[in-house]
Amino acid sequence: MMRWILLCVLAASIECALKDFMNVCMDAKHHKSEPGYEDKLHGQCTPWKNNSCCTANTSAEAHESVSYLYGFDWNHCGAMSKACKKHFIQDTCFYECSPNLGPWIQEVDSSWRKQRILDVPLCQEDCENWWQDCKDDLTCKENWHKGWNWTSGQNRCPLGAQCQKFTVFFPRPSDLCEKIWSNSYKSSSLRRGSGRCMQLWFEGRENPNVGVARYYADLRSRAAASPLPAATLLLLLAPLLLSCWV
């Protein structure tokens, strides 16, 4: 009997823990507090309109070469090609709008956000296509999160840094995906449709990242389940279960 109760408690606690990872927005600079419908999302952010963590204004600014979002200039080494910029817009929309990043959200001590994403597994095609369309463009840095000269109010190359092709800083597609935003992304060997990697962009009404997020959320929830004795586990989980069922 106790074993059956314990199994029920564990199942309930796992399902409850899933709520912490599913359908959530980061606590960051421009994110909404919770996802919802946004029928006027702009351009490449439109796939998330049915359930989005970004507003219409944020989605419009994501398409600007220099926007009020972060004051970041894609053209810091001359004009970025249209093909390359497309991927950075998709990347921005994914970061700002996706409600499916819960399994990879981490707490951070930052002046402009309280949470970030870490090691989100991107599908192989997403990294390869991003790298292929940007490999002949120019940049002067490997990690775009930090180290810029901001004295002008916009990001400029640090003193002594030279503008060179992306391939100098990112020899392989995995280098681009993983290094450019401080390991926010992790290059996956899995492909779209595998159900185990995230797509930066998608077409149609069905968001393929929902199932992927649930898979990894389930793994995290199960890993967090404690192997404590049944009586102790019941006592510890009681408040959590009550909060889930209220």
List, as one string, the DSSP characters of 42-95.
Answer: -GGGGGGTTSBSS-HHHHHHTTSSB-TTT--BTTBTBPPPHHHHHHHHHHHHHH
Whose tokens are 């109760």? That residue is 5
What per-residue confidence (pLDDT) applies to 4?
Answer: 42
* Band of pLDDT at residue 111, cut at 50, 70 and 90: confident
Task: Give residue 47's identity as a one-letter amino acid code.
Answer: P
pTM of the model: 0.84
Q: What are the tens digits of pLDDT across the range 178-237?
A: 999 999 999 999 999 999 999 999 998 889 999 999 999 998 887 765 554 555 545 554
Asked whether the beta carbons of 198 and 212 are under 8 A apart, the reply is yes
Q: How far is CA 102 from CA 9, 31, 124, 192, 234, in A?
A: 23, 13, 21, 20, 26
Whose tokens are 């995230």? That residue is 198
